[in-house]
Structure 1
Amino acid sequence: MARLAHSLAPRDIGRRATVRFRLPDGRFRDIVGVLESWRDGVLVLRRRDGSVAQVDEADVVASRIVPQQPPRRRGSPES
């Protein structure tokens, strides 16, 4: 079984990350996006679609830096 780790820090602002956090009802949710800010205990991530998500640091149960997304392929490769 994998161990959950919260490895993000304010120095990671500008990097792409995944964050797992606990909802008020006890369920978990994941967000992947660029960490835009970390201020007053609130992480702000911008998703690929441009929307912004805010997560209270106290609710984060796991996080890590993830690789930048590879460019999308246009059509299929030529044979």
Structure 2
Amino acid sequence: MVVRYRVDGGFTDALGYLLSATAGSCTVRTRQSDVEIPLALVVAAKEVPPPPPRREARSGRA
């Protein structure tokens, strides 16, 4: 999922997996870390499809 929320000077997005949601916050697991976001700062959120599987490495051309 992606969650857009307010930060000083604008907005930022957290892209990852929703780990938990409570009455006051949600936690998203991004590539770098788990991000706890107060719901009062959230301006938009939506589900996005999972990333495609990684391709196999190409072998050298013959």
Question: Which range, TM-score by smaller chain?
Answer: 0.7 to 0.9
SS of 1:69's equivalent?
Answer: coil
Query: Aligned residues, how many?
Result: 61
CA deviation vs aligned residue, 1:18-64 (integer Å, no higher than 9, x gap): 000001x2410001011000124110011134x10010001001110
Identity of aligned residues (%): 41
Gapped regions of structure 2 (runs ≥ 5): none
| Aligned counterpart, 1:41 | 24
Q: Does 1:54 align with 2:31?
A: no
List structure 1 segments (4+ residues) > 3 angstroms apart after TM superposition. Answer: none
1:68 counterpart SS class = coil
TM-score, length of structure 1 as denominator length: 0.67
Q: Which residue of 2 aligns with 1:20?
A: 4
Distance in 1, matches of 2:9 and 2:41, equals 10
CA distance in 2, matches of 1:40, 1:72: 36
Match for 1:31 among 6, 9, 14?
14
Higher strand proportion (structure 1 or 2): 2
Q: TM-score, normalised by structure 2?
A: 0.82
Q: Counterparts of 1:52 and 1:22 in 2: how far apart (Å)?
A: 17
